[in-house]
Amino acid sequence: MSAAGPPQGANSAPYGGNAAAQAASVGVHTDSLALPPVPLPAPGDHPLRDRIIAALFAIAIAWPGLALIGTWSRTMTRFENRPMAQWPALALTREFAPAFDRAFSDRFGGRDGLVRFHHGTRLGVFGVSSLSTVMPGNDDWFYWLGEDGHSLDRHYRGTMPFSQRDVDNTVTEFARRRDWLAARGVAYVVLAVPEKFTIYPEHLPAWIAKSPLQSPYDRVRAAVERDGRVTFVDLRPPLLAAKTRERVYFKTDSHWNYNGAAVAYGELMRAVQKVLPAGMLRVIAPAPRPAYVQGVDFYSGDLVRMLGLPSRIVREDDVAPLGKVLGDATGRCARRIDKDEFPGFEYFVCDRPGLPRAVVLRDSMAISLIPLLSENFSRVVYVSTRELDQALIEREKPDIVIEELVERSLHAPGALPMK
């Protein structure tokens, strides 16, 4: 006798199973349009687990907003190195919501961690930078592409224009500044700092080719020489020579290292001696050379920090530690006297008798030059600007104005003429 099947219409499938299929397998005809059975209620014997999950979910949702307590007043993003979007004034306008969204997006909780994860994943897995301003090169070198992300295209590859008008305006402004200063008995020297890709092109990605045409640096330097009035210090030959002996730029930073700054310092001060009245600067203060300790002195630069890479892993040997120079004040005369009360200005004095006075227009490339230059002047003012402030010159009455500018800023003096 065959085994008896289930009673007609009974459902022996576990919930979630296909009752119609099971019925068909035993020869029972069912309605194909019938709804599946309703699952049993979820067990209610884990209330603590459910409360914990609900609490964690609520915290995760609230965290981006709660974190504003600590991030509300931030002014700079950590990785993009740009000003944060400002909080908008409360107003019932169409612009308020998008402006608030931009400000909140720059400050919400966990942003730094998410940005770091995104940047690190793209670079580590795909070899691609997440920032248009930072390019990974070969052999663990990184390159800064300028504030607009096109410095390499404009000054090396030649795929973006640097117009003849920019060249002419810059050279004309250099000459105007020189003449205005000379009329007041003030000497003038221009120091042009090459970009890292100009000195170390061999570590650029293989697909990047140098333009066969003259670079903007070449064109500006040649035009200055033709004009003949301005002392223009071209640092490319001495830096290219020095790099055969020692590294002169950081691998992970957008700036030169102390070695490069020391080379520039020597070239600049020899030019300063020549343009000052004879005997005004008899001796150039020597540049101290800090001792590098292998396995101890490391550095992780601004480019890897902008990419959110861990500084303990992505770092380089600090072959010329500037921190050791700054940390040892025993052999230095110059001291800073302004204590940050004048944003964009730094005042140094040295009480050695007979030293000249100076004003230095600078950018961040001069940071490592400051402790060296300051030893040669009784008073020197460093100004973070490309514009010559005539009122400052009249007030300070320097013997010399030094204008230091990086290669990608060679157009800036022409764009900011004296008033």
Task: Tell whether 144 is covered by a domain.
Answer: no
Say if residue 368 is in the same domain as residue 283: yes
* 166 and 102 both lie in a single domain: no
Answer yes or no: do 102 and 227 share one domain: no
Q: How confident is the model at residue 80 (pLDDT cuts 50, 70, 90)?
A: low
Q: Is residue 275 part of a domain?
A: yes
The predicted pLDDT at position 180 comes to 98
Task: Tell whether 202 and 273 lie within a shared domain.
Answer: yes
**Residue 16 confidence (pLDDT):** 43
Domain carrying residue 83 = 61-109
Task: Please provide the size of the chain in residues.
Answer: 419
Identify the pLDDT of residue 225. 97
Residue 250 has pLDDT above 80, yes or no: yes
Does residue 129 lie within any of the structural domains?
Answer: no
| Residue 346 parent element (H or E) | strand 345-349
Residues 82 and 223 in one domain: no
pLDDT score at 27:
54
Q: Is residue 6 part of a domain?
A: no
d(CA 137, CA 160) in angstroms, rounded, equals 21
Instruction: Tell whether the model's pLDDT for residue 66 goes beyond 80.
Output: no
- Tens of pLDDT, residue by residue over 384-393, are 999 999 999 9
Please report whether residue 30 resides in a domain: no
Say yes or no: 240 and 334 in one domain: yes
Q: Name residue, tokens 């993003």.
A: 77
- Report the domain count for the chain: 2
State pLDDT tens for residues 251-303.
Answer: 999 999 999 999 999 999 999 999 999 999 999 999 999 899 998 999 999 99
Name the nearest CA neighbour of 363 among 289, 304, 416.
Answer: 416
Answer yes or no: is pLDDT of 184 > 80: yes
| DSSP bridge pairs for 348 | 336, 380
Helix 216-227 crosses helix 164-182 at what angle (to 10 degrees)?
40
For residue 162, the model assigns a pLDDT of 96
Q: What is the average per-residue pLDDT within 382-405?
A: 96
pLDDT digits (tens, 9 = 90+) for 131-146: 889 999 999 999 999 9
Give the sign of the dihedral formed by CA 163, CA 164, CA 166, CA 167.
positive
pLDDT higher than 50, residue 12 = no
Is residue 7 scored above 50 in pLDDT? no
Q: How does pLDDT run across 217-248, given as a tens digit for each residue?
A: 999 999 999 999 999 999 999 999 999 999 99
What DSSP line would sit under 240-278, residue for residue?
Answer: HHHTTTS--B-SSSSSB-HHHHHHHHHHHHHHHHHHSPT
Of 257, 276, 278, 280, which Cα lies nearest the Cα of 268? 276
190 and 339 together in one domain: yes
Provide the H-helix boundaries in 67-110: 68-71, 96-107
For residue 339 the two structure tokens come to: 């204590």
Q: Whole-number mean pLDDT of the chain?
A: 87
- Under 8 Å between Cβ of 271 and 189: yes
Q: Which of 74, 90, 109 is the last residue of a domain?
A: 109
Instruction: Say if residue 201 is in the same domain as residue 317.
Output: yes
Residues 94 and 196 in one domain: no
Q: Do 89 and 178 reside in the same domain of the chain? A: no
> Structure pTM?
0.78
Question: Does residue 95 sit in the same domain as residue 181?
Answer: no
Q: Are strands 187-193 and 231-234 parallel, antiparallel or unpaired?
A: parallel
Domain-located, residue 359: yes
Residue 189 lies in a domain: yes
Asked if residue 284 belongs to a domain, the reply is yes
Are 242 and 366 within one domain? Answer: yes
Question: Which domain-ending residue is among 109, 140, 171?
Answer: 109
